[in-house]
A and B are shown apart, each in its own frame.
Chain A
Amino acid sequence: MRMRRFMWIFAVVALGAFALAAVGRFLLAWPDNVVGMWAGLGAGNAVGALLFLVVPRWWRSHCDEMYAQPAGQRYLRAMWPIMIGYALTLFVSIWSIKRGIESVPLRAVVAVLPALPIVLLMRAALRYLREIDELQRRIETEAIGIASLLLSVLYFAGGLLQLAKVIDIPAGVAMIWVFPLLCLVYGIAKMVLARRYL
């Protein structure tokens, strides 16, 4: 039920962004990059909504159950503002750095800004971890452990290939992707573990 609501929120945001892009393109003659930005936002949210459709039903009902618990509700309530804050700070940070900041310390502060909401997110996640029951905690921590080990090996292998000049990935991209990849592998590991334990 809750998952269904998330899906609709994503779908509505996607439609809104597409509508803005269309209005900007055909009625208000916005510059191409602004139209592109809104279209991109719409596409991202549409993909998000579609992902909810792809997940198996047992997983969806399991998530609904988890989020119905007090700990899950608290986690969700903490997460929404944090994720919106993350999106906004990321936007502001990229925009102002693209405009160019001369002073290096100031640029450093502005660049690190989007990492702050992630600190809050992790704090909320750790609190959630402490509030759930034993079995759930076991699933969560084991999934994080598996994700951590897999990703460490993946990055180690990638680093060796990079050092041997077989691949050439920019350092900044490689570093930023640690966290999203970790979340992805964690999610998959959690699905497998939950299937086994529950």
Chain B
Amino acid sequence: MTESAAVAPTRNSRFLRPERVKEATLLGIIALSVVVFAFLIEGYLSGRFFNRVTTSVVVVTLLAAAQALVIFSRNIDLSVGSMVGVAAYLTGDYLTATGQGPISALIVAIVVGAVLGSVNGLLVAYGGVPAIIVTLGTLALFRTLLSIYSEGANVLAGDLPSWVLEFNNVTLFTIAGFEVRLVFVIAVVVVVGLQFGLARLRWGRRIYAIGSNPSAAAQAGLPTSSLVFWSFVGSGALAGLAGFMFLARAGTISATAGAGLELESVAAAVVGGVSILGGSGTMVGAFLGAVFIDTLKLSLVRVPEVSEFWRDAFLGILILAAVILDALLRNRFNRRWSAEARKAMEATGPTAAGMARMAGGGGTADA
């Protein structure tokens, strides 16, 4: 997680930028909840629990990244759950039929996801249909196509090549019982790569610019349609990758696989400080949001006093608490910075940097 500081843009001299405050706060909350759970649950701080969280968080992490990618440009993708289902099922089908290895399976899953994502992208970017309408429609549509294709049959774990179910347990190295597993490393690499691209590369900054103000971005001559299109393709590809991970974890895939993941992915991104209004937030934040939600889910079931039925009720309260805290912090920073910027303007007259500070948006400050 230390990478986040290294890859975040450094042109802005301010150290306490909002996204960094958000990430640090969330990291603190995660640490705090781990400490609390350690008191409540016997033998909690063991390698086994670390291994379980890092394995199970992979799917949600990839989906939170998929979601964040489109939310940054002020869109939303409610179809990720259905895309996971389709990608997992088709990849499972392909492996059952051919018995191929991991590389070709990964390619199939990612391509399936990207194709589905391109349908969303075409309709949003070139059809002029709002993302929430398109993806609400494809949420149903992709699921329907899968249900027709599957004819009610499941992909069965027993028919898959044996490497699939072992894929989750492939361990790169072990430190004192803490296994660093391949699937987790893949997820982290994806997050760090996207964080770098979004923070440092031209397409990334442009996506933030679109999310901050779509019409200003278009007026400034940015290729908004193609950027939005490709962010949906990227979101689909990530959902496809998540579909592969889903297959590796579950083995048996029905036509309803992955249903409901769309809301979990939005929740993870939002808890991670990604603004639903676009233009601000980070990939690392979304990742931390996913880790937080997954840690809670896996820990709450082990607290003896809490029945499994309490899990969602707690989760709802915690998500709410996280966003309220976020709003309070943001208001505080905005007030302080606009006061600073006003002072700077009185001294030197309006400058671009001063105006950007007035706007006070986190990721947008140097976009």
A associates with B:
no
B binding-site residues for A, Cβ under 8 Å: none
* Residue positions of A touching B, CB distance < 8 A: none
